[in-house]
Amino acid sequence: MRTSVKFTTATLATSALALTLAACGSSSSTSSSGSSSNDASKPLVVVASPTPHAQILEYIQKNLAAKAGLNLQVKVVTDYVTPNTAVQDGSADANYFQHQPYLDDFNKTHGTDIVSVETVHLEPLGLYSSKVKSVAALADGATVAVPNDATNEGRALDLLAANGLIKLKSGAGLEATPDDITDNPKHLKFQEIDAAQLPRTLSDVDAAVINGNYALDAKLNPKKDALLLEKAQDNPYANILAVKKGEQNDPRVKKLAELLHSPQVKQYIDQTFSGAVIPAF
């Protein structure tokens, strides 16, 4: 079960951002977002996870934005709730941190109306361990940590199922939980933990399924360090640039979307992340 304590932690982080959003992130001076003004000269405030999202945006900020006439401000947060609530309440214009299944679930759960503008990249989800060097070495009864948010938990369990560690009930889909496991030959035990905290659990559990951005933050290379790694082909979990519904045609948002799909950004992603982050355009 997902506990109320986990959600409360994220809620507190959201409340903190409401007070401090103007003070965090890039070195640019702050102003209210107000994307509904359609003033192309106003700063575009984008909330992003540190790695790789903010890194990619900061590359654009330093190398491409000025030439394109875009005043880009990057605000960095580490949880998976704040970016959407900031866009919904207007304290930010856009966010860049999530995939479409997560956004769909968030909108449904929180009553928000945030929409995708463009897909940008894929971060393969991986199974990591500081105790064993292979999946075969996982002991009977081993403890595996998984993300506690609905879509990423289902995604993590699907990764394990695709590699024969468990079987899931037919039709469990993206919202699968450990209760949907129908066969567990290694008798694995599962701990549901906030996604941002998963790298810190590696010393306490036998293995953990970690989102790509948090793996990179923890200096884990998905391509080299993961015991299991999602396949990129036909993967629905590409990360997106998102805005509040109705703001898709904001000229600043359109300009950022074009820059995110530029050859320069593709080259930057390929050279910087060496396959741990994959362009989705």
CB-based contacts of 267, cutoff 8 Å, min separation 6:
none
Q: Residue 180 — very low, low, confident or very high, per pLDDT cuts 50/70/90?
A: very high
Nearest to 63 by CA among 230, 276, 267, 239: 267
Question: Taking 90 as the threshold, does the pLDDT of residue 270 lie above it?
Answer: yes
Q: Which two tokens stand for residue 260?
A: 């995110």
pTM exceeding the 0.75 threshold for the entire prediction: no
- Residues 222 and 31: their CA atoms lie apart, in Å, by 37
Please determine whether the domains at 4-124+236-279 and 126-229 fall in the same fold group of CATH: yes
Q: Where are the domains of the chain?
A: 4-124+236-279, 126-229
Taken in order 100, 178, 49, 229, the sign of the CA dihedral is: negative
Instruction: Render 242-281 in DSSP notation, one character per residue.
Output: EEETT-TT-HHHHHHHHHHTSHHHHHHHHHHHTTSSEE--
Question: Taking 60 as the threshold, does the pLDDT of residue 105 lie above it?
Answer: yes
Question: Taking 50 as the threshold, does the pLDDT of residue 32 lie above it?
Answer: no
**Backbone φ and ψ of 103, nearest 5°:** -65, -45
- Residues 88 and 271: their CA atoms lie apart, in Å, by 34
Question: Taking 70 as the threshold, does the pLDDT of residue 13 lie above it?
Answer: no
Amino acid at 44: L
Contact 212, 201 (CB under 8 A): no
Question: Taking 90 as the threshold, does the pLDDT of residue 5 lie above it?
Answer: no
**Farthest CA pair distance, the chain:** 60
112-167 confidence digits (pLDDT tens): 999 999 999 998 899 999 999 999 999 999 999 999 988 799 999 999 999 999 99
CB-based contacts of 162, cutoff 8 Å, min separation 6:
none
Q: What is the domain class of 4-124+236-279 according to CATH?
A: alpha beta
Residue 263 CB-density burial (10 A; 0-12 exposed, 13-18 middle, 19+ buried): exposed
Q: According to the model, what pLDDT value does residue 38 have?
A: 59
- DSSP H helices in the chain: 4-20, 55-63, 65-68, 82-89, 100-110, 150-162, 212-217, 222-225, 251-260, 263-273
CATH of domain 126-229: 3.40.190.10
